[in-house]
Amino acid sequence: TIASRIGIVLPDSQYDSPLKGKHVVVTAGPTREKIDGVRFISNYSSGKMGFALAEAAKERGAKVTLITGPVHLQTPEGVERLDVENACEMYAEAKRIYHSCSVFIAAAAVADYRPDTVYDGKLKKQNVEMQLRMVRNPDILAEFGAVKQSGQLAVGFALETDDGVENARKKLREKNLDLIACNTFDRKTSGFEVDTNVLTLIDRNLEETALPLMRKTEAARQLLDYIERLMDSEQ
């Protein structure tokens, strides 16, 4: 380029990001667990936090794969997007890229349970009451935590209603995570469907950082700053 020929160093915002060139996998959105051909169980996740993380990682020069449940959001430019519907599909996609990723960020609100039996057509209504038998879904992040190699980072979210930080610390340990972002359950300022979030970050050394109320786009940047510091400390 002209710039290089005349010896000018152009500013490059990604020049010192340890994420540059690394493969970052982000899961986002809710999952839908079918009861029958028309009905499903889902949750209020909008996917905003995951999409913000994918975009911010891309901005830092990472190769980003975004595995998302059904959401109404545009794919950030340059991000590879894999659409899935339910937890088992998300698990299958994630599993295929566990080995290649440097950072796995589980921002999706994966359903813990799915109906035991899925009916092909439409279940007819019959009785005044009905029992729905549910079975546990795979824990995508815990499995990554269990198989990850040195140099791979596992990052999770914990949406908690009470004893938030204590429960988040427990998840961090049990799932062998490097960082967990604890979300207090408050529909107005934090968590699902809103544009802002209040996160407390807890890292593998149990260091706690309480972030103030901020937009999810900004929270995504702060989370990636933290991930970069963890990556640097491993060098």
Which x/- pattern over 33-72 shows residues binding a copy of itself (rule: CB under 8 A)? --x-xxxxxxxxx--------------------------x
Burial of 118 (0-12, 13-18, 19+ CB in 10 A): middle
β-bridge pairing 63-68 and 23-28: parallel
The yes or no reply on residue 131 touching a copy of itself (CB under 8 A) is yes
Q: Give the count of alpha carbons within 13 A of 34, CB side only.
A: 15
Q: How far apart are CA 216 and CA 226, in angstroms?
A: 15
Q: Chain-centre distance of CA 40, in angstroms?
A: 22
Signed CA dihedral, 36, 37, 43, 44: sign only: negative
Shortest distance, position 55 Cβ to a copy of itself, whole Å: 21
Q: Using CB under 8 A, count the residues that bind a copy of itself.
A: 37
Q: How far apart are CA 71 and CA 15, in angstroms?
A: 33
Shortest distance, position 106 Cβ to a copy of itself, whole Å: 15
Among 96, 99, 122, 173, binds a copy of itself (CB under 8 A): 122
β-bridge pairing 103-106 and 23-28: parallel
Q: How far apart are CA 126 and CA 82, in angstroms?
A: 38
Shortest distance, position 126 Cβ to a copy of itself, whole Å: 9
- Name the one range near a copy of itself by CB under 8 A: 60-68, 90-98, 109-117, 209-217: 109-117
Question: For residues 34 and 115, is the Cβ–Cβ distance under 8 A?
Answer: yes
The yes or no reply on residue 77 touching a copy of itself (CB under 8 A) is no
Shortest distance, position 156 Cβ to a copy of itself, whole Å: 14
Chain residues 173-202 in contact with a copy of itself, contact rule CB under 8 A: 185, 187, 191-192
The yes or no reply on residue 141 touching a copy of itself (CB under 8 A) is no
Q: How far apart are CA 165 and CA 52, in angstroms?
A: 23
Active site residue 43: yes
With respect to a copy of itself, which residue has the nearer C-beta, 58 or 171? 171
Residues forming the active site: 43
Which residues are near a copy of itself by CB under 8 A?
Answer: 35, 37-45, 72, 109, 111-113, 116, 121-122, 125, 127-136, 159-162, 185, 187, 191-192
